[in-house]
Structure 1
C-alpha cells in the first residue's frame, strides 16, 4: 500500500537500540524529573537482572478464545483520535513457490472488497471522516508480518465500530473477486516498477550472499513480476486462508477512547472468527551461519557513491528481562562512542570516507546484525574499509577513554529522561509499534516509567571494561559478510575480493596507537555581554501571543503551549536573504550558513562544541533562503539559556574552520562526481533549468562552482547577513513563559549588534515559466517512467483563493488516484501539490507527479488532462466537497496541538505582514468551502495556458 514515513518518534525498544541517535543527537526538549521519585515507582527487586520486564500497567493485554491477542491503551494525544492496527504474523517468507509477491497482493485486496465493504468503499468512507488514503490509511507487508494501519476519529458515533469492522473483514472476509484481482495487478506491478533502479539491482546481487542458504534470499515481499502479472484469486485466497488466522493475529488500539468500550468492540468483532485447530505450521525461517567471511561486490552504472559494510550476523536477542535491558545499554554505549570517533574522523580532509557508523539491531525474524558501514571517497574503498576496521581494532586493543564513557552515559540518560518527561504528552502512534513488536517477537514493553527507573539504576554501574568487551563480539570471520558497492564507470577500478580480504590482514598487522582527545575548557560564552532591555510590550489575546520590542530593535514573539512538556522551538528571521546579493554569489550565500556553522562557534570547534553540550538539549542553526536569513533551534526548558547563548554566538562569533571546510568540499565533490548517473537527479535538474530558462540562480551545483568557494568570502557573506539583528523577529513556541524568557531575551538577544538597517527582499528571479513546454528526458535502464505536469499563472492573492487552490489540489489528487490507480491500474501513487506565492510576485502553481510504465506515459497524461477538463467543466459533488472539508478539519484539529504548526503559521503571518489576532480564521475558510467555490477555482487555476509536462523515460 501507500507507505509513508511517520513523524519522527522513538518507541522504547528503539530508544534502547538507537545508539547513534542517543550518542550523537541533541534532543529537542527535556525536563528532568526527580530520580528518587522515579526509583520509588517499583520495588528494588524489580530491577534484579533476572527479573522479567513487566508489562506497562497502562496497557490492557488479552487473548480471545479463538487465539487473537489484543492490546488496548487509552491515550489522549492527539485528542479524539485512535491508532488501530491489525497485525498478522505472516509475510512473504511463508509464500509457496506460486505465491511469490502474493502476501503483499493480499494486502492490496483487503481494500478492494470485503464482506461488509464493496470495492474501495472503506477508502471512501474513511476519507469522508477525515482519514487520508496513503498518508493515514495504510498497510505494509514485509518478510515476516503484515500490518494494517488505521488512524481514526473517536468523537463521532459508529466510527470505531465501523473501523474495527473493516479490520475484522481483513481477518475473515476478503472477497478476492476475480475482476478486482485482475484490475489490481497493474497497481501492484506499478509498485514493483517504482522500486526498480540501482538499489534494486544491487540488492539482487547482495541478498543471495547476505542471506546465503536462507529462504529470505528468495522471498522479497514485492515478489516476481511474472507471478504478479498472472495473479488470480486461487493462490491469493490460499495464502489468506492459510496464514490470516486467529493464532497469528493481534489487534492494537491506542487512543482517546474508553478501554472497556474498545475491548467490547474487539470481542464483538473478532470473537466470532473461528479458531483453526488443524492449521499449517507457521515455520521460522533461519539465516544459516558460516565459518568464513563472505564477500559480495556489486557495481552499477547508475550508482553515484561507493560504500562498504561489514556485517556480523547473530541470533536475535529479544529484550525480555532487566539483564537484557542492561546488555542493550552496554551495546548502545559502545556504538555511540565508536560513532563519535568516526564522526570526528570524517571532519578531517585526509579521511578516506565521507561518513561512517556502527550499528546493531534487528535483521529479520530470529536474526540480528551488528555492522560497520561507510561511504567511501571515489577510488578509496579499500582504504575506507581499512580505516573503519582500524577504529574498531583500536577499541579492541586499547579500549575507550573514561571521558568518552562519561559523555555517553550522560547522553543516554538524557534521552531516557526526555522520553520520561514526555510520558503524558506522547502521541498514540508512539506506543503502537511497541505493542506490535511485543506480539511478534516477545520484545518487552514495560513503559517508560519502569525503563527510566531501571536505566538510572543500571547505567552508573556499567564499567569501561564491559563496554570495551563488546569489541570482541564484533570480530572474527565467522558469520561475517562484507558488502561492497561502487559505480560502474570508465576509469574506476572495482576492488577485487582478494583486495577486500587482504584489508583484514593488514589491520591485524598494523601498529595502532591509543585514541587521544582534547576537551575544550571554559564557558560557552567567554565574556557575558551587556544586556539590553524590553522597551515595549503587548499581549495579543486571541492566540495568546506576547510581543516585545528590545532597545536594539529586535522583535520577540512568545506563544506558550502545553503540547509538549520538554519542547521549546525558536525561529528567527529577517527579510533580505540571497535575493540581495549578485546572481553569481547566490549559491555561495545559500551554502555559507551550513559551511560556517560546521566550524563551531567562538573558541569551540564543532567537535569541542558537541562535547561541551553533552547533556544539554539545545540547538541553533543558521540559514539563508532566497528572501530571508534566519536561525532555527530547539531546547528543553531547563536548557533555555544554553539555546539563547547559542543564538547569540551564531550571530556574533561565527567560526570558520579551514580543516572542516576542506573536508566539506571533498564531500560535495563526491556527491557531484557521479550525480548525473542518477536518472532522478538528471530529471530534476532538467526540470529546474528548463523552467528557469537558464537563469543563473537556478544553476545546479557543479564542480566548477565548488572551485569558486572561498572560506574567507563565505565568512564575509555570513557576517553581512547576520551583522545587524535590528530587523530580526525571534519567535518562541512551546513550554516557555514570558516571565522565564524575558531576562534571557534581554541578556542575549538584547545584546545582539544592531544598526538602522531595514531591508526588503528584491525580485532577483527567475520568473515563472510561460507557454507550453513538453520535454522528455531519456535516462536510466529500468523500465519505468516518471511524469511531472505543471500548471501556472499569476493572480492577485487572497486568503480565500489560496485556500480554494489548496482544496482544489486535494480534490484533484483524489480524482487522479481513482482514475490513474483504481480505474486504469497504471500507477501506484499520485501527488498533487499547489502553491500560491504573495511575496515579490503573486503567482500560483499546480504540480502533479506520478509514475507509470513507459508505454503508458502518454495514456496516463491524456487521462490527467481529461480529469482537469472535467473539473473545469462541472462542479464537484457534494460528497467530494465534504470529504475535502472533513480531512482539512481533522488535520487542523491535530495540527493545532503541535508546536511546529504554530511556529510556521505565526512566522508566515509575520513575514506577510498579516494581523496575528486572526490566526483562527482557517476553520472559517474550511467551513465556507462550497462546490461552487471549487468549480470557480478550477476554471481559474486549472488553465492550461501555461502548462509544462516533463517525462522521464529509459534510454532504450
Structure 2
C-alpha cells in the first residue's frame, strides 16, 4: 500500500549521555537547529525550479532512538526516477560538506530562530499542559535539560550570536560521512515501478562523490517589499459595534475594515477577509483551476520576489498570508506578530495588486502534484473519500475529484485568469483585524495598505450552485481492493432545517450524545471498532440544512450488525430522549469548551466572521449559555425526531473485493 518511492541515507552517531546534557549540549542543539533550517531552505529552493529532481526532500540531524542520533538524508522520488532523486539529494549533502554554508544563510536562520523563540516567550501562558509533560518526560527518561521559557529565551539571545558559519559548516563535515551508514529504499510492489538495488544505489553515491560540486550561490535581494508609492485612502465612515467591542471603518475605496483589540495571545495579530462569490460564480470549466489554485499560489511569490527571494526577505519575521476559494467566498487568511503587522498588510497589498505567475515555478509544482496524485490513485482511503464525495453531492458535474485527469483541465494561464477575476475588487471585501495592536495604528495602516487596493465597480454575490445531498435513501455496498480485511461503514443523514443559534446548539448536543452512545454500545459492549466518528454540520448558505455523518472501520462480518446500532441509538433518542447522565455530560463539556475558547484571539475572529456572514452575535450569552441553560432532554428528543423524520440518507459500506 506504499503510495510513493523514496530513498534515505542514515548515518548513526552515539547521542550525548544524560550526565553530559548541560548548557554546552544546549548550544550544540541550537547549532544543529541552524543546520537543519539552512538545509531545508536550500531544498525548498530546488523544489521551486522547473522539473525538480525529487518530489520532496530533507537533510537533517537529530535524535533517532534513546541514546542515538542520526544524520538523515531523505528524498521522495518521482515515479521511476529514484536514481535522479538519490543523486540530487546526496549531491546537496556533499555540497555543504565540501563548501559549507554562507554568512547570509546563517543570519537568516538565526533571525528565524529568534523570532520563533520570542513568540514562544511572549505566549508562554498559552503553552498546553501536555507540552510541559512531554518536556518532563524527556528529562526523566533521557536527561534532556528541563529549563523555563524565560531562561531559554535569555540563553539563546546570549549564545546564538556566537555560533559561527565555520562552526556549523564544520559540524556538517563531521556528520556527512561514509561509515556507519545505511541506505533504505522503499516503494510499492508493482510491475511498472522500478526501485534501486544495492549495487546501483552505491554506484550513484560514488559517482556523486567523484563529481565536481560548485558552492551554493546567494541571490541579491531588494530592500523593500513594495517599491511603488501608495495612494492610500481615507476613512469615510465609522461604526461602533458595542456588543462586540469592535469598530467598522468604511474606506474611500469602498473596502470595509472591522477591527477588535485582543491580547489573549500577546504576540499575535490575525487578518482575515472575505468577499461573496467564490467558486459558485465560476463556469464549470473553471472549477479545476479554482480547486488547484491554493496548491500553486505559494510557489509564485509576490511583487518583485519569487518564492525563494520572498522567504529570504521575510527571514526573522513572524508573518504569513494565503488566499483561497471556497464554494461561496474568496478569502484571505494571515497572521503576524504586532511588530510585523505592517509587513502582513504589505503582503496583502501585493497579493491583490501584484500577484506573480511564473512558468518555472508552475511547472515544478505541477510535476510534484501530478506525481503525488498518481501515487494516491490506488490508495483505498482516497478511493473511498472520492466515492463518498460524489455520492453525497448527487454526482453533480460541479463536484471535482482530484485525480490524474484534473491536470488536463487547467493551465498557468487559467489559474491566473481565475485568480485575477476573484481577487481584484477590494470594494467587495470585508477585512477583519483582531489582535494585540492599538486602534490608531490599525486604522492608519489599514488606510494606507487596504486603502490602496483597487476598487472594481462591480456588484456580485454568491450563486446557488445547486449541489444537493441525494434525495431519499441511497444504499450501496462497494467492493474495493484492500490489503487489510476490513469494512468501512459510512452513514450520513441530511435534512433542510433552519439555521439558528438554538437549532445549531441542539445539533451540537445531539452529536455529543451520539458519540457517547456509540462509544458505549459499539466500542465497549460490542468490541466492534476502535471508535465511531460522528460529525454534525449546520449550514445557512446556500440553504439552511443540517447533516450528521458517522463512519467506522470493522470486521466485514460485523458491519451490518454494528450499522444497525447506529440507527437504533438515533431512533432511541428520538423516541425516549437522551439519558440524564449523557445530556448533562455533553452540556457541561460544551460550556467548558466555550470558556476555554474565549481567551483566544482566534475565538474573537470567528465571532466577527460569524456576525457578518450569519447575522448574529455568537458570543452573546443569549445565543449560547442562555440557550443551553434552558435546554431540556425533551428538547433534544423533539429535535432528533424532527431531524430523523424524512431525512435523506446515504448508507455506504466499503468491503474487500473478493
Fold shared by both chains (TM-score > 0.5):
yes
Provide the residue aligned with 2:532 in structure 1: 830
Provide the residue aligned with 1:938 in structure 2: 640
Identify the range of structure 1 (375-384 vs 489-498) with the bigger mean alpha-carbon deviation: 489-498
Provide the residue aligned with 1:122 in structure 2: none
Pairwise mapping of residues 200-599 of structure 1 onto structure 2 (< 5 A)? 302-317=1-16, 320-599=21-300
How far apart, CA to CA, are the structure 1 residues paired with 2:600 and 2:237?
A: 29
Provide the residue aligned with 1:676 in structure 2: 377
Deviation readout 1:569-618 (Å, 9 max, x if unpaired): 11110111010011221121232244234211111101111101111111
Provide the residue aligned with 1:644 in structure 2: 345
Name the SS of the counterpart of 1:713 in structure 2: helix
How far apart, CA to CA, are the structure 2 residues paired with 1:919 and 1:663?
A: 51
Provide the residue aligned with 1:904 in structure 2: 606
How far apart, CA to CA, are the structure 2 residues paired with 1:917 and 1:888?
A: 14
Conservation of the 8 A alpha-carbon contact between 2:270 and 2:601: yes
Pairwise mapping of residues 905-920 of structure 1 onto structure 2 (< 5 A)? 905-914=607-616, 918=620
Provide the residue aligned with 1:821 in structure 2: 523
How far apart, CA to CA, are the structure 1 residues paired with 2:106 and 2:376?
A: 39
What RMSD, in angstroms, separates the aligned Cα atoms of the two structures?
Answer: 1.7
Pairwise mapping of residues 493-892 of structure 1 onto structure 2 (< 5 A)? 493-777=194-478, 778-892=480-594
Conservation of the 8 A alpha-carbon contact between 2:135 and 2:146: yes
CA apart distance, 1:920 = 6.2
How far apart, CA to CA, are the structure 2 residues paired with 1:585 and 1:335?
A: 40
Conservation of the 8 A alpha-carbon contact between 1:540 and 1:916: no
How far apart, CA to CA, are the structure 2 residues paired with 1:729 and 1:691?
A: 32
Conservation of the 8 A alpha-carbon contact between 2:287 and 2:400: no
Structure 2 CA distance for partners of 1:425 and 1:490, relative to 1, 3 Å? closer
Conservation of the 8 A alpha-carbon contact between 2:39 and 2:60: no
CA apart distance, 1:921 = 2.3
Conservation of the 8 A alpha-carbon contact between 2:501 and 2:623: no
CA apart distance, 1:548 = 1.1
Deviation readout 1:847-866 (Å, 9 max, x if unpaired): 00111112211111112121
How far apart, CA to CA, are the structure 2 residues paired with 1:413 and 1:742?
A: 29
Deviation readout 1:51-96 (Å, 9 max, x if unpaired): xxxxxxxxxxxxxxxxxxxxxxxxxxxxxxxxxxxxxxxxxxxxxx
Name the SS of the counterpart of 2:274 in structure 1: strand
Question: Normalising to structure 1: TM-score of the pair?
Answer: 0.67
Name the SS of the counterpart of 1:323 in structure 2: helix
Give 5+ residue unaligned stretches, structure 2.
none
Give 5+ residue unaligned stretches, structure 1.
1-301
Conservation of the 8 A alpha-carbon contact between 1:542 and 1:917: no
Conservation of the 8 A alpha-carbon contact between 2:255 and 2:431: yes
Conservation of the 8 A alpha-carbon contact between 1:597 and 1:654: no
CA apart distance, 1:427 = 3.7
CA apart distance, 1:425 = 4.2
How far apart, CA to CA, are the structure 2 residues paired with 1:425 and 1:826?
A: 38
Structure 2 CA distance for partners of 1:752 and 1:487, relative to 1, 3 Å? same
Conservation of the 8 A alpha-carbon contact between 1:791 and 1:944: no
CA apart distance, 1:424 = 3.9
Name the SS of the counterpart of 1:307 in structure 2: strand
CA apart distance, 1:517 = 2.1
Name the SS of the counterpart of 2:195 in structure 1: coil
Conservation of the 8 A alpha-carbon contact between 2:469 and 2:648: no
Name the SS of the counterpart of 1:677 in structure 2: coil
Deviation readout 1:109-140 (Å, 9 max, x if unpaired): xxxxxxxxxxxxxxxxxxxxxxxxxxxxxxxx
Deviation readout 1:452-476 (Å, 9 max, x if unpaired): 2211121111111111112223233
Question: Normalising to structure 2: TM-score of the pair?
Answer: 0.96
Structure 2 CA distance for partners of 1:370 and 1:943, relative to 1, 3 Å? farther
Conservation of the 8 A alpha-carbon contact between 2:54 and 2:75: yes
CA apart distance, 1:919 = 7.1
Out of 626, 649, 657, which is 1:947 matched to?
A: 649
